[in-house]
Each structure stands twice: as structure tokens, then as C-alpha cells.
Amino acid sequence: MTAALQAHSVKRKRFGSRNNRVIPGFGLTMGFTLLYLGFMFLIPVGGLLLYTSLMSWEEFWKAVSHPQVVASYKLSFGASFIGASINLVFGALVAWVLVRYEFPGKRVIDALVDLPFALPTAVAGIALVTLYASTGWVGQNLEVWGIKVAYTQLGVVVALTYIGLPFVVRTVQPVLEDLETEREEASASLGASRLTTVRRVILPALLPALLTGYALAFARAVGEYGSVVFISGNMPYRTEITPLLIVAKAEQYDYQGAAAIGTVMLVAAFLLLLVINGIQWWTSRRGL
Amino acid sequence: MSIEIDRINKRFGDFIAVDNVSLTLNDGELTALLGPSGSGKTTLLRIIAGLEQPDSGRIRFQGEDATDLHVSDRGVGFVFQHYALFKHMNVFENVAYGLTVKPRSQRPSKKEIRDKVMHLLEMVQLDWTADRLPSQLSGGQRQRIALARALAVEPKVLLLDEPFGALDAKVRAELRRWLRRLHDEIHVTSVFVTHDQEEALEVSDRVVVMNRGKVEQDGTPEEVYDHPANPFVYQFLGNVNLFHARVQNGVAKIGSVQIAAPEYAGQQDSLALAYVRPHDLEVLNSREEDALHARIDLVSVVGPTVRLELQTDTSDQAVHAELSKHQYRSLGLVQGGDAWIRPVISRVFLRDADSP
């Protein structure tokens, strides 16, 4: 009798899952998800691609391979790469300090990490340029050493580092909280030095989160506009980022040219994220 | 390698975790640190390992001071309750870890490492799991891997922190017998922490009972179980019934029952508690002069034994008795019926501020 009941309930679970769920509504939520994704993402991206496809190959190639545009790609992707890399190291460090130690003001620092999310990027850009200009607090002192930040490519890196910080911290933090100190203690009791423990036990466990944070920081940096345009000075061939070129083209009513460069960025960003996702998938197969 | 624990103290804020404990653990012995949670047993174990620093006191291994040695230099193997295996390494890499992190000059060759790890895996009967990840193993298997990993570096001392605490009852029982056999083979000085008295009594050569940061009793499992030093140990090691008694001239009286208590020969009319284990209580089906009358409230049959819950005439507290099914049948006892109980073995402690 009980066996029959069980068999029955198994059957119901398999074929009538809608009735057994605690919270129903798959159809409604899935429908909304598709609608939402469609309006917010697929249709704009589709429009971009459609707009680009109106161009001939020659027109497209001319628009995206102009030396000024190529220089901006190098700067945008290069500076994003450096910024995200800096964040990878220091973001991990901030997360470590916030998770592993107790100190006065910890909550304040924890809250400050989110500031680049909340502050309008233009405000951040103006603040950065005020600080790093040759008359600013930081810029003055760097000038002595012959380092110029504002209106140079270094300035772009600084801005992109600033806006990317929260991503690495916020992805690594929860993983670090779950990482029991016991595993580090086990490593130490087996004779491993502190450095070996970090290298062979802690870092591999954090790797997927670090990669995710890196990818997010990178993607955010590539698309960043507001905070960069103030500090970079926007000199063609030197400190012009790709999003700025897109805006410039759009302002000159060259919508097709803007869309073409946008498409290149879209494809490049997509490919990079695909690679990082691939690495993540590979590490997660290792049971992390 | 003997371990000398010399006047160790450790506080966490206001909480005194270890209170001036001194102990010497002999070479090759398997010692159980037994106590309730918060008794300081795990802290003491971690201090021996070097994972925790004592506020004062010294730890010596074979007479040599190890107090200021970092955990990685102490040569201890530590096994954690939740295994603490490296999740991103397979079983082989986990066990080999301690060998591969040695400085290059001391590191064995690849082949030596391979042979040693496989030998250890065979010893824990898990050589077929070498290529698996810890997440693919059961809890009992993981703990055996953790043990193999700890043994790979040939520790002078093996420390186990509630090693079977996270496992289910059957696996626990198997593993502790297995640990006992393993210890008989390799004879490394071992200390394990547990709150399970049965585990401590079954596995160890020696039991150290701890409570509130202090050692309550220290002895062989038989000594500790048969001759508990104080009421705490009595109650902690197994179930026990408490009877209010009056001690006069070396005799404790529980109602009409008299128990010899020669250690209190000088006492005149003192309040005391008699401790009687459920299986040391004789249950009778007819009135006898030196037995207490009780009503049988509940009969529960647990496999071959029968547990009775009885209510005496004088106390509100239920009395538990344990007898074999055979005895129970031949006595013809029934739930709700009458019975007479007589303590066969008991221990009397005078009542003072400490007793419950």
C-alpha cells in the first residue's frame, strides 16, 4: 500500500510538477523574463546590428578601422585590462581584510566599497580630475616625480580602476566567508609555509570568484564613459576612449559609424566574456 | 613521543576555556579528551597542535619545549571534524600535499611520493579513490582520507578533533573500531576529542574527562566508568539515577533501603545523593524489606534490552532501569503495574553547593 502510494507520488512529481511546487507560476514568470530580456536587451542589440547591417562592407570596414578608432580600441581595452588587473589584486586584498579581521570602522569601509556603484560617474570624474590635475592634492606631489596622471593614458587607467573596484570585492567576499580557516590550518599542520598555503589552498578556492569579479570589472571598464572623459582630456589618437568616439560620431549625426564601432565593441566584449566563462567552467569542473 | 601539558591557561575574553591544566600523555597512547561542549577540550587540543597560543603554560614534546613552535614546524597530524580536505585537489593530491610542500632538499622523489601515498590509501582501504575529488566521497571515506593525509608526513603526534562527529551512527561505530586497529598497528601518540562517552570508552587507552576548562578525572576507561571521581563524571559517563539519601555512621539510607558508605563513617545525619546506573538497579516483582516500591510508568523495548521508567513513592523524578528482555519476561512485569527496586551498585556523594 505504501509502496503504491510512493510510486504514485513519484509519478506526480515527474509529470505534474506544476501542481507540486510550493510556489507556482512558472508560465507567468518565464513569460515575463522573456519579455523583459527582449525589451531591455535583445531588441536594442538587434537594432544595433540591424543598423550596422545597412552599411556595405567597405563602409563598415572604413568606419571601424580608421587609425583614430583603432587607437581608441587599444586604449579602451588596454586600460580596462590594466584597471581590472589592479582591481583583481587589491580587490582581493580588500575582501580578505574585510572578511578575516575585526577592526573599528570595518562597517564604514565595507560601505565605502560600494561608493563607485552609487556615485554618478561624472561626479567621480570631476573629483578625480581635481585630485590628479597638476594643481590637485595628489597631482602636485606626483608631478615632483615626473608622473602626470590627468589628461594622460594613466588617467584613464585610474578612472577605470576606480569604477571597477566593487566588482572584485563583492564577488570574492562571500566566497571568502565560506572558506573555512580549517583548510588553512590543515595546510599549516602538514608543514606548508604561509605563502604555500596561500598559493596552493586559498587562491585555487578563490579562483572562480576572482575570475567573475575580473570579468565584471573589465566589462564595466570597457563601457565606462562618464568618469573617464573628464580626466582623459580626450586627445585624438592618445587619450580618446572608444565610447567617447561613439558619442562624438552620434553627435555629428553619423549614426551608422557609431553603430559600427558599437558592434565591434559588442563582439569584442562578448568574446572576452566567453573566454573568461570558459576558464570558469574549466575550474568549476575541478570541483571548486 | 610523550606530550607534557604544563599549567596551560587560555581565555577568550571573559570565558575561561582552559583553566590551569597539567597532564602528561605517554608515548604511543591513544588518549580521549572527553567533555561536554565548552569544556575546553578542543581548545586544549588546538593548543597542543599550535593552532592556538596559550596565555600561559608550556607544551613539551618528549621533554622539548614546543610552545613557541609554529604549527607547521611541530610535526603534528591534525584531523578536523569536517575533514578540511582541499576540494580542488583529488584524493591523491590531498594525501600527497604534506610531502609536496616540503622544501626541495627534503622532498621525496615523485616515485617515492607515489608509493607512499598509494600505501597510505591502501591502509585506509581507499586506494581505488585516488583520482576522485573529495566531493565524490561519503563522509566516512573523506575522514579516512583526511587521516591518511595527516599520516603522510609521519607526524610525531596525531590529534583528532571530534573525528567522527559529523558521521551517522553506523559509520561512526565502524570507523572508531577501525581507528583503534590502526592505532594498534602504527602506535603513534594520539589524542582525540569527543563528547561521546561511548566512543571515548571504546577506543581509547586512557580517558581524560574535562569540564569547565578543568580535568575532572584521568584514568583508563574502566577506572573512569566504574569509579567516577565525582558526580559530574558519574552523570557524564552514561545515564544515572539520583536518589536522595541521608548518611549516618557510614550508612546511606534511601527510605527503607540501606547502602554502605564507609567513606562517610564520621558523618552524622548528612544529606547525600546516591548515584545508581540503570543497569545496576535490580527490579523485583514482589515486596522485599530492602527494596523501594515503584510504579512502572513506561516500558520500552530497545532490541535485546528493556528500559523501564518507574516512579517511586517518595520522589517526583522518574527512575530508569534497564534489564534484559529475558529477565523482564520471567519477572512478569507490566506497564502500569507495581515493582520493587534495589540498587546493586551505587555511589554516594554528600550534597554540597556543587551537586545538582
Neighbours of B234 (CB within 10 A): 21
| Segments of chain B with pLDDT less than 50 | 353-356
Contacts of B97 in chain A (CB under 8 A): 187, 190, 192, 200
Contacts of A185 in chain B (CB under 8 A): 51, 71, 78, 80, 84
**Residue B341 is which amino acid?**
I
Rg (CA), chain B: 25
Residue A6: predicted pLDDT:
47
**pTM recorded for the entire structure:** 0.78
3-class secondary structure, B288: coil
- Do B78 and B42 form a contact (C-beta atoms < 8 A)? no
E strand or H helix at A76:
helix A67-100
- What long-range pairs does B200-204 form, CB within 8 A, spacing at least 24? B200/B32, B200/B34, B201/B225, B201/B237, B202/B176, B202/B177, B203/B30, B203/B32, B203/B176, B203/B177, B203/B179, B204/B30, B204/B31, B204/B32
Structural domains of chain A sorted by starting position, each given as residue range(s) with its CATH number in brackets: 64-286 (1.10.3720.10)
Gap between the Cα atoms of A232 and A278, Å rounded: 33
Whether A5 has a pLDDT exceeding 50, the answer reads: no
pLDDT tier for residue A19 given thresholds of 50, 70 and 90: low
Instruction: Please spell the DSSP secondary structure of B198-215, one letter per residue.
Output: HHHHHH-SEEEEEETTEE
Q: pLDDT tens-digit profile of B308-318?
A: 999 888 877 88
3-class secondary structure, B130: coil
Residue A47: predicted pLDDT:
86
Residue A226: predicted pLDDT:
86
Neighbours of B27 (CB within 10 A): 13
Do B149 and A190 lie within an 8 Å CB cutoff? yes
Residue B356: predicted pLDDT:
46
Using CB atoms and an 8 Å cut-off, which of residues 111-140 of chain B contact chain A?
133-135
Q: pLDDT tens-digit profile of A57-74?
A: 888 898 888 899 999 999
Average pLDDT, chain A: 85
Question: What percent of chain A shows pLDDT beyond 90?
Answer: 33
Residue A12: predicted pLDDT:
47
H, E, C per residue of A128-169: HHHHHCCCCHHHHHHHHCCCCCCCCHHHHHHHHHHHHHHHHH
The greatest distance separating any two alpha carbons of chain B, rounded to the nearest whole angstrom, comes to: 80
Gap between the Cα atoms of B319 and B315, Å rounded: 9
Q: What is the ipTM of this complex?
A: 0.81
Q: pLDDT tens-digit profile of A131-168?
A: 888 888 888 888 888 888 888 888 899 999 999 999 99
Residue A62: predicted pLDDT:
87
Contacts of A287 in chain B (CB under 8 A): 87-88, 133-135
The CA distances from residue B318 to B262, B315, B322, B334, in Å, are 28, 8, 13, 17
Pick the residue from chain B with its C-alpha nearest to A183: B84
Contacts of B101 in chain A (CB under 8 A): 187, 190-193, 196, 200
Residue A115: predicted pLDDT:
87
Q: Which residue has the higher pLDDT, A112 or B261?
A: A112
Using CB atoms and an 8 Å cut-off, which of residues 148-187 of chain B contact chain A?
149-150, 152-153
Q: pLDDT tens-digit profile of B114-155?
A: 999 999 999 888 999 999 999 999 988 999 999 999 999 989
Whether A283 has a pLDDT exceeding 80, the answer reads: no
